[in-house]
Amino acid sequence: MKLLRSYYPHFLVAVFCLVFFLSPGVGAEEKRAKNICFRWAFGAMVGPDSDRRLVAITRDTTLKTGDRLKLFVELKKECFVYLIYKSGQNELHMLFPYKIEQFTTDYSISKKYYIPQGEMWFELDENTGIEIFYLLASAKRLIGLEAVMGKYNCANPPDKQRIAKEVIQEIRKIKRSHRILTAPAERPVSIGGSVRGVDKDKKAGPPDIDPIAEEVSTTDFYGRTFTIDHR
């Protein structure tokens, strides 16, 4: 017993050192380089035509027929950003990139991409329902998602509903495989409520949504889903 008691502290030190050096290390995930970084904005022009104002959509919210939507992406590091829209009638559209070929032809850091392009805005029509926007960003191209979206775009109308389900399943599979990386990583300026507003200059046209953009900075993957209750 005396011998064991004499070496016991040394035994604990040896065990601690062994565990420390064989383990991946405390905070190893935090030390990994953040290889995804981009700015993005999701803005809506709401209110009557005589008094419209810009609001930043930062979470699920309710909008009305006639409200207008615009989105914005600006890469800060080379990564792959996808924005897919699901209408209230279960139709799918890849809003960004504009075309998959864009990844190899027109995809640059610090370039500002507006969705829709130029000064155009989307406008919510009379078809009410649940509108969903899927935002995904990856350090590597999501080849599976690109393939199934291509399949959807080329499908005959009778097959589109079935293939649309495959697209949604692929999005869910991607998010499940990166579950711990789907938490919000933005650095927003919160004002409260489901949206935050920016007054419009009534002498000008629709405002630029760049000023309400948020920066996303994370590792390997980022995913968010925004649900719009269109009434």
> Is 205 within the bounds of a domain?
yes
Rounded CA-CA distance 78/35 in Å is 8
> Is 161 within the bounds of a domain?
no
pLDDT at 69: 97
pLDDT of residue 142 exceeding 70, the answer is: yes
Rounded CA-CA distance 137/220 in Å is 8
- Cα–Cα distances in angstroms (integers) from residue 96 to residues 46, 73, 194, in the given order: 23, 9, 24
In the chain, how many domains are there? Answer: 1
> Is 56 within the bounds of a domain?
yes
Whether residue 155 contacts residue 149, with contact meaning beta carbons closer than 8 Å, is answered with no
> Is 58 within the bounds of a domain?
yes
Q: What is the chain's percent helix, strand, coil content, to nearest 5?
A: 30, 35, 35
| Alpha helices by DSSP H, 23-122 | 28-31, 102-105
> Is 145 within the bounds of a domain?
no
Calculate helix-pair angle for 157-177, 143-154, nearest 10 degrees: 170
| Alpha helices by DSSP H, 70-202 | 102-105, 143-154, 157-177
Averaged pLDDT of the chain: 82
pLDDT at 198: 38
Q: For residue 182, give the nearest of 172, 170, 190, 197 by alpha carbon.
A: 172
Q: Which region among 18-32, 97-111, 127-141 has the lowest average model confidence (pLDDT)?
A: 18-32
pLDDT of residue 221 exceeding 70, the answer is: yes
pLDDT of residue 162 exceeding 80, the answer is: yes
Quickly list DSSP for 59-76: SSEEE-TT-EEEEEEEES
Name the percent of the chain lying above pLDDT 70. 75
| Alpha helices by DSSP H, the chain | 2-22, 28-31, 102-105, 143-154, 157-177
Higher pLDDT, 64 or 189: 64
> Is 213 within the bounds of a domain?
yes
> What's the distance, Cα to Cα, between the start and end of the chain in Å?
78
Q: Which region among 14-18, 155-159, 213-217 has the lowest average model confidence (pLDDT)?
A: 14-18
Q: Which region among 19-28, 71-80, 85-94 has the lowest average model confidence (pLDDT)?
A: 19-28
DSSP state of 181: G
pLDDT at 180: 64
Quickly tell me which residue has 């897919």 as its tokens: 84
Full domain range(s) for residue 99: 28-83+94-140+182-219
Higher pLDDT, 201 or 10: 10
Whether residue 94 contacts residue 73, with contact meaning beta carbons closer than 8 Å, is answered with no
Higher pLDDT, 159 or 185: 159
pLDDT digits (tens, 9 = 90+) for 40-81: 999 999 998 888 999 999 999 999 999 999 999 999 999 999
> Is 4 within the bounds of a domain?
no
> Per the omega criterion (within 30 degrees of 0), is the bond before 184 cis?
no
* C-alpha 136: how far from chain center: 4
